[in-house]
Amino acid sequence: MKRVIIFGDISRKQKILHENDYHYFVKQLLLIPMSSENPASSNTVLTAPTATTPIHRPRRLRRTATLRRMVQETILSVDDLIYPMFVMEGEEQKIEITSMPGCYRYTLDLLLKEIAEVSRLGVGAVALFPVIPEAKKDDTGSESYNPEGLVQQTVKAIKEVVPDILVITDVALDPFTTHGHDGIVDENGVILNDPTVEVLVKMAVSQAAAGSDMVAPSDMMDGRVGAIRHALDAAGYIDVRILAYSAKYASAYYGPFRDALDSAPKFGDKKTYQMDAANSREAIKEVVLDIAEGADIVMVKPALAYLDIINKVKNYTNLPVAAYNVSGEYAMIKAAAQNGWIDEKKVILETLTSMKRAGADLILTYFAKEVALILAGRSSGGCFG
């Protein structure tokens, strides 16, 4: 005879389960404590009290710090971090960026010292962004592929002083153009795609020739990844990788970065080439194209307001996925911390962990050095735990 299972308070309401639910709820009986004086039998009618002692207690695994560490699903490591850095011409200068407290423009001599320090802390990669004097800017960004240019000289110097660190170079025209756009502009203010790609190719090859380990096209021109890959291979740089800014959104979070490089567009905005913040399916389209064109790593930028996009991209591809914890995200945390509104170290770690949890394998972050210090302090039992 089948047992009839009744769930709920039998004195007020009875609910006899449909036969289709029988097998499911038989399994649940294993979770209902039975009295040894009145064990269930084949003809027992059972009721689960509305207020009963819980069998599953997730809090058991949260009880001690050791247990929490053992079952932690996402672990942030210094190996996940890429440190974006700003380099400028001159000597012995270090200028703080007003809207990015704790971030600086460095002349090459001081940049090398900073890179050596972060390398000792375990940060394995830096991403370079140049501050170009107005006198060297023009409408086509020709300084970008000067073999003796600031970026090229910086790469060479880094490779001489800290040869083991991975150097990533930005491929975009906005730091080099008088108008501040990522591409060549015609007389009607239209960003020209294909002529821009031709310049980007020259730029990427010149960076590879200087010793760049990875070029990172951030311009969002159509077809630029394939063109760069073809040109690198043709020039013999088959091992130079491409980190593609695949899903780069037209975002208000970039403001402090443009302050750092003095590269804000002099007219209009970047919405004709960067993605609409409201779109998610389009991100996959861009990722698909970049992978087909030869990208080695794909990126989502910004990160914090786009965790859903990071997750979508991660679920789509087996390639490594990078996320850019951008300047506006950095500045918000710094501002709140300076006002005493948040615990800065805890918020930094929580923020970056959320990006990794969403699917980021690599995180470009201005917090890289701070996080390296925090994690080092934690592992040695220091004050940052």
- Domain residue extents for the chain: 5-56, 78-379
Secondary-structure breakdown of the chain: helix, strand, coil percentages, each rounded to the nearest 5: 40, 20, 40
DSSP 52: -
Rg, the chain, Cα only: 28
And the tokens for 113?
Answer: 């010292």
pLDDT at 115 over 50: yes
- pLDDT one-digit tens code per residue, 294-353: 999 999 999 999 999 999 999 999 999 999 999 999 999 999 999 999 999 999 999 999
Proportion of the chain above pLDDT 70, given as a percent: 83
Active site residue 136: no
* CB 209, CB 198: distance < 8 Å: no
**Does residue 379 carry a pLDDT above 80?**
no
Question: Could you say which DSSP state residue 92 is in?
Answer: S
Catalytic member of 137, 248, 314, 334:
248
Amino acid identity at 45: V
Q: What is the pLDDT of residues 341-356, one digit of tens each?
A: 999 999 999 999 999 9
| Span 172-212, pLDDT tens digits | 999 999 888 888 889 888 899 999 999 999 999 999 999 99
Phi, psi of 253 (to 5 degrees): -80, -5
**Per-residue model confidence (pLDDT) at position 307:** 98
Tokens of 146: 């000067």
CA 8 to CA 21: how far, in whole Å?
15
Provide CB contacts within 8 A for 294, sequence distance 6+.
Answer: 225, 226, 229, 242
State residue 51 phi and psi, 5-degree precision: -120, 105
Which one of 27, 113, 156, 301 is the catalytic residue? 301
Tokens 């989502």 found at: 300
> What is the overall mean pLDDT for the chain?
86
Question: In which element (H, E) is residue 185 found?
Answer: strand 184-185
Q: Tokens 């097998």 label which residue?
A: 23
Residue with tokens 């970047």: 270
Dihedral sign, Cα of residue 254, residue 256, residue 260, residue 265:
positive
Residue 346 is a catalytic residue = no
What is the distance between the alpha carbons of residues 376 and 374, in angstroms, rounded to a whole number? 5
- Which of 3-7, 323-327, 371-375 shows the lowest per-residue confidence on average (mean pLDDT)? 3-7
Q: What pairs with residue 107 in β-bridges?
A: 88
HEC states along 10-27? CCCCCCECCHHHHHHHHH
The set of residues, in sequence order, having a beta carbon less than 8 Å from that of 50 and lying 6+ positions away, is: 8, 9
Residues in contact with 230: Cβ distance below 8 Å, sequence separation at least 6, in sequence order? none
Pair 198, 223: CB distance under 8 Å: no
Bridge partners of residue 48, in order along the sequence:
7
Query: What CATH number does domain 78-379 carry, 3.30.465.10, 3.90.226.30, 3.20.20.70, 3.40.228.10?
Result: 3.20.20.70
Say how far apart CA 252 and CA 195 lie, in whole Å.
Answer: 27
Give per-residue pLDDT as tens, 38-81: 444 445 455 555 567 888 899 999 999 899 989 999 999 999 99
| Cα dihedral 307→311→316→322 (10° resolution) | 60
Distances 147 to 131, 206, 208 between C-alpha atoms, Å: 16, 6, 10
- Please check the confidence at residue 382 and state whether its pLDDT lies above 50: no
**Of 227, 219, 343, 370, nearest in space to 292 by CA:** 227
In the chain, count H helices and then E strands. 12, 14
Strands, E assignment, 194-309: 214-217, 241-248, 297-301
Residue 286 phi, psi (nearest 5): -65, -40
pLDDT at position 181 = 85
DSSP string, 67-89: HHHHT-S----GGGEEEEEEEES
